[in-house]
Structure 1
């Protein structure tokens, strides 16, 4: 499992931006499309909100990739 560390001044990162930061997608458009089609799992449940606020302790999964926000 990968660890994504928020910057000290950040309270959260939006899901679409997290997928880009993890290099799981090539573009924002790709991130939006795979989230909307229900391919992304957040904290064990399908998440379709593109701008879902990901906070410390949240986990995200896309196919065989998994990461935790810290």
Structure 2
């Protein structure tokens, strides 16, 4: 993984990860697994692969963005 993607804010399914603890591994919508370090509401950088998945009606895990 490149440093740019590591710094990017990944999106994740909130149904699969309803309340992750700090440092807990989460799988982002793009498939990258990384430790959770809190939600950033307005990140400077977004993972382009995650952004593309968010635009779809259904996530790869089968959930939708409406299921919160």
Q: Same fold (TM over 0.5)?
A: no
TM-score by length of 2: 0.31
Higher strand share: 1
Higher helix share: 1
